[in-house]
Amino acid sequence: MSSSPTLALTRDNVIKAHELIKPHIHHTPVLTNTTLTTLASTPQTPDALRGTPWEGQEPAKPKFRLFFKCENFQRIGAFKVRGAFHAVIRLMERTEGGNHAQALALAARTFSIPAHIVMPSISTPSKIAGTKAQNAIVHFSGSTSQEREAVVADVIKQTGATLIPPYDYADVILGQGTMALELISQVDALLKEKPELDIHPDRAGKLDAVIAPCGGGGMLAGNAVALHDTGVEVFGAEPSFQGADDARRGVESGSRVPSVKTLTIADGLRTPLGELNWSIISDRKYVAALYSVTERNIKDAMRLVLERMKCFVEPSAVVGLAVILFNEDFRRRVEREADEEGWSVGVVFSGGNTTVEAITKIFAPVEDGKAEREEGVVGRDGKKVAENVAG
């Protein structure tokens, strides 16, 4: 579902959006982790590359300093609240107003506006419960974009509601981009306080790149707009399972992929790239490249964040970290383009809307006779990270 832009997609408008929403959002922390930075800066082992497109090749040797923007600590547990509040505030100004559902419901409740939310019936139960907890009226649909749009049309016809799409909407994109403004400011302040963390002592406080997950593309496009012409490169990360890397494939072919049907564990990234977001993400002046990772890569990255950072995240949140740790094309790019010091990279953790039960299921041993979705048993620290994996 798309909509004509209400504001131009510019860095100045991201800055204005930030001023509007600051009273309603959390200023989420930026964290560092020595273990993950060290693992990212350590070449993968031949065992780790076995069964991948890079099997038998010399492992890349990049150097990283990682800074994690923890939107899993945002209100409703995800970055979506940024775009939702900005969209609702702008809607109020004009008329007088998954995780997006919860965020929009919260924003509407804050301003005493009725909210009708259309969600696929297969949505994560915790996200459905979180949306209902904000007093929203939930309407269920099928899982495809066509099925959702049909229900949306019915709701609009019956209620006269104004549609705010979850990602392909200028006000939402500008709101999501506010996290990038915070990230670069926070890294600058952190490195002034702790200069020993700076990989570039001669140009203190500067990030080389930011990597963010990409589903519908609102967050990635927003970050790209916010960081345009700042010297900070922006990259996107996607799951590869069942064609979930539609943005990467579309950019490579020169044509947007209009539909996606995937059951990747990164459930927040199951949507196709929106048309408005395509105009930003397909432009190399905004997004340098997109990379994809397997289900096993996502699980391994999630395990590291849970165990080493003690940070509660959903699978979608760690796809960017998985690219840094496991995608040799990205790692070779950093090795090739960085100076001897390496790259400082901002890594967006997009949300933490999962449950202990869901995490237990993700990491449950594979039953006898059943194969994993993806092969691979060796983690970035050289330890076995999954039992009973068929291969």
Q: Tens place of pLDDT for every residue, the chain, 391 residues? A: 334 446 899 999 999 999 999 999 999 999 999 999 999 999 999 999 999 999 999 999 999 999 999 999 999 899 999 998 898 888 777 654 445 556 556 666 676 667 788 888 877 787 788 778 877 788 898 877 678 788 878 878 888 777 777 788 999 999 999 999 999 999 999 999 999 999 987 776 689 999 999 999 999 999 999 999 999 999 999 999 999 999 999 999 999 999 999 999 999 999 999 999 999 999 999 999 999 999 999 999 999 999 999 999 999 999 999 999 999 999 999 999 998 889 999 999 999 999 999 999 999 986 654 545 444 334 555 443 332 222 2
217 and 265 share a domain?
A: yes
For residues 328 and 256, state if they share a domain.
Answer: yes
- Residue 15 is predicted with a pLDDT of 98
130 and 178 both lie in a single domain: no
The whole-angstrom separation of Cα 164 and Cα 178 is 18
Alpha-carbon distance of 265 to 125, in angstroms, equals 14
Q: HEC profile for 111-162?
A: CCCCCEEEEECCCCHHHHHHHHHCCCEEEEECCCHHHHHHHHHHHHHHHCCC
Please tell me the distance from the alpha carbon of residue 162 to that of residue 187, in angstroms, as a whole number.
38
Count of domains for the chain: 2
SS3 97: coil
List of residues 6+ apart from 246 with CB closer than 8 A: 238, 257, 260, 272, 273
| Residue 242 Rama label (left phi>0; alpha psi -120 to 50; beta) | left
pLDDT of residue 128: 83
Q: Which of 259, 268, 208 is nearest to 237 (CA)?
A: 268
389: in domain: no
Q: 98 and 238: one domain?
A: no
Please give the pLDDT value at position 388.
Answer: 27
Are residue 157 and residue 178 in the same domain, yes or no?
no
Residue in the block written with tokens 């297969």: 122
Q: Is residue 209 part of a domain?
A: yes
* Number of separate helices (H) and strands (E) present in the chain: 16, 8
Is residue 388 one of the residues assigned to a domain? no
Q: What is the pLDDT at residue 292? A: 98
In a domain? residue 104? yes
* Angle between helix 178-193 and 11-21 (nearest 10): 80
* DSSP code per residue over 349-362: E-B----HHHHHHH
196 and 304 in a single domain? The answer is: yes
Q: Measured at the alpha carbon of residue 25, what is the angle toward residues 133 and 310, in degrees to the nearest 5?
A: 80
Tell me the CATH number at 32: 3.40.50.1100
DSSP assignment string, 249-280: HHHHHTS---------S-GGG-SPPPHHHHHH
Q: Verify that 98 and 220 share a domain, yes or no.
A: no
Asked if residue 204 is part of any domain, the answer here is yes
Where a domain ends, among 137, 171, 205? Answer: 171
Containing structural domain, residue 308: 11-76+174-362
Q: Is residue 119 domain-shared with residue 183, that is, in the same domain?
A: no
pLDDT of amino acid 107? 64
Residues 327 and 341 both lie in one domain: yes
Domain boundary among 123, 146, 171: 171
Distance CA 320, CA 234 (A): 11
Give the DSSP H or E segment for 31.
Answer: strand 30-31
